[in-house]
Amino acid sequence: MLRAERDDLGVVVLYAAAVGVLTLATPLAVQVLINTVAFGAFRQPIVVLALLLLAALGLAAALRALQLTTVELLQRRVFVRLVADLSWRLPRVRIESFERDRGSELLNRFFDVLTVQKASASLLVEGVSALLQAAVGLVLLALYHPYLLAFDLLLLGGIVAIVFVQGRDGPKTALKESKAKYAVAGWLEEVALATRLFRMPGGAELAMRRADELSCAYLKARDEHWRVVFKQILASLALQAVAGTALLGMGGFLVLDGQLTLGQLVAAELIVAASLSGFSKLTSKLETFYDLVAAVDKLGTLVELRTEPVDGLPVPAGEGPAALDAQGVSLRMRSGMTPISNLSLRLTPGEHVAILGLDGAGKSLVADLLAGVRQPTEGVVYLDDQPLHTLRPDELREQVVLVRGVELFMGTLAENLGFGRADISLAEMERALRQVDLWDAVRALPDGLQTELQPGGAPLSTNQILRLSLARAVLTRPRLLLADRVLDALPVNQRAPLIAGLTDPSAPWTLALFTQDAELARRCPRRLLLTDGALVELDSRADLSLFSPASTPPGDA
């Protein structure tokens, strides 16, 4: 995620290194001052020393300000890059990616971008600065005496043990904690999406019981992670106390032996104090680092969602209804089940066919396969003799439209109808709405087509939203129209004008009407039965008594 910002990251590290070197001006100035005073020098060197120290610290402050500005720009770019990636990726995600997890629940992980922003800023500004300051200080300390070089090595060994040995389980426990956190959020989202369901007897108790179980799992994961972090904190505090004491004792003996000046001892104490203080800051940032690892992992779940191919052959610019041919198509699910097996279907241009099937027969899966939303495990689907899987998906959507159930987003009615496309006029929208008998209802709204739709579709009713979905499909004038049980969910007295428009011989599309309603199926000249994962041709004398008006929402079968 930060790979695209590696140039600016290098600048941040360069600033941090410069700040780390310049902040050593204080202990070095103290060393010179003590030696100068000890030898009874004049006041002029002290003034010069103070001015040099002011210049060094002023430059360090300026570089620190530039570092903070660069990190702020990095945070903004990380946010914008992620938003741009997801806004491009989500409309193209393979439908299989959302079979195991609800899309809205997966998108909760987007908010980990805030963790990435804050954690990366903290580590880049404070963490890198503290690390480089400590490193430069220890190198300078080693130049004073060989014993201090040995002291450096022992100190580094202790730091490595704390960070890498004691913290080896840190990333793993952080990921476990993060997963437990999102499990809680996912369950609360389920309850919020089905509040009426959880008002039924036992619903509230189940919501509380499941939330309690998930909360306990989170607390357990959090406790495991905190133990790792707390051990590192205790060890770093102990190392700080031991190292400071050891340096004071060893430095005192070296001064008494004349191997170290008093100024060097004071400077060494200041350097070690600053280095240990920096290490202490780093230790406190270890949990921030673990949070960053977990956040990047969660965001990786989003940016690694598999998408449809963006390339392919251009879809031939045909005119009039399209031809469709599916040969030996099978679909195997992740569970190992094969709901569609050796299915074949041929539709001639302009043909209107009804595909009947009971609940669970697999009508929606067949619709997905014919629309190119899913790829068959075996077999090929052809559009005008061109294999669907070889065509550019964006161009394919211009000619093949699948309409299914209540599908809308928070925006104006016009945006839900035409997606803000400049090539669609208001007159065309009006014509499409009239075709589904919705124009009068839209015109009666105070803001008409500019009416803002709420999350549930208000002020439109469910039936009106279904007709809006049909109008959206009609507006694009596709060459192949797949209607998956949209009419089944409408009241019987509202279906006649809609089915008449869809099956109009002058319509510019080939129609596949998926239904379990015999009356709707009879409006199509050709009828097929989906059973046992395959299609069977039905003649005019076939018994359709099993197919009464459906009451379940589209997309469930």
Whole-number Å distance between alpha carbons of 224 and 111: 24
Contact 236/163 with Cβ under 8 angstroms?
no
pTM: 0.76
Residue with token string 């959302």:
98
Q: Helix/strand/coil (H, E, C) string of 97-137?
A: HHCCCCHHHHHHHHHHHHHHHHHHHHHHHHHHHHHHHHHHH
Helix, strand or coil for residue 372?
Answer: coil
Which tokens sit at 349? 């241009």
Residue 530: which of 344, 391, 280 has the closest Cα?
Answer: 344
- What pLDDT does 141 receive? 73
- What pLDDT does 508 receive? 92
* Per-residue pLDDT of the chain in tens (557 residues, 90 and over written 9): 666 667 777 788 788 778 767 776 777 677 677 766 666 656 777 777 788 888 888 888 898 888 888 888 888 988 999 999 999 998 888 887 777 777 778 888 888 898 888 888 888 877 777 777 677 777 777 777 788 788 888 888 888 888 888 888 999 999 999 999 999 998 998 898 888 888 888 889 999 999 999 999 999 999 999 999 999 888 888 888 888 788 778 878 777 787 877 777 777 777 777 776 766 677 777 888 899 999 989 888 888 888 888 888 888 777 889 999 999 999 988 877 888 988 999 999 999 999 998 888 889 999 999 999 898 999 999 999 899 989 988 888 889 999 988 888 888 999 989 887 888 888 999 999 998 889 999 999 999 999 998 888 889 888 899 999 999 999 989 999 999 988 988 888 888 888 988 999 889 999 999 998 888 888 899 999 998 888 888 877 776 766 765 444 444 44
- What pLDDT does 207 receive? 92
In angstroms, the Cα distances linking 507 to 239, 480, 486, 524 are 81, 11, 18, 13
User: Following DSSP, what letter does each residue of 381-444 receive, concatenated?
Assistant: EEETTEEGGGB-HHHHHHHEEEE-S----SSBHHHHHHTT-TT--HHHHHHHHHHTT-HHHHHT
Peptide bond into 314 cis (omega under 30): no
- What pLDDT does 37 receive? 67
Exposure string of 75-90, with b = 16+ CB inside 10 Å and e = fewer, is: beebeebbeeebeeeb
Is the CATH code 3.10.20.30 the one for domain 324-538?
Answer: no
Contact 385/422 with Cβ under 8 angstroms?
no
Residue 293: which of 360, 225, 239 has the closest Cα?
Answer: 225
- What pLDDT does 3 receive? 67
Contact 75/121 with Cβ under 8 angstroms?
yes
Helix (H) or strand (E) holding 529: strand 526-531
Domain positions in the chain are 3-303, 324-538
Which tokens sit at 455? 């999350």
Contact 145/268 with Cβ under 8 angstroms?
no
Class of domain 3-303: mainly alpha
Angle between helix 25-38 and 43-89 (nearest 10): 170
In angstroms, the Cα distances linking 95 to 98, 217, 309, 484, 530 are 6, 30, 13, 16, 22
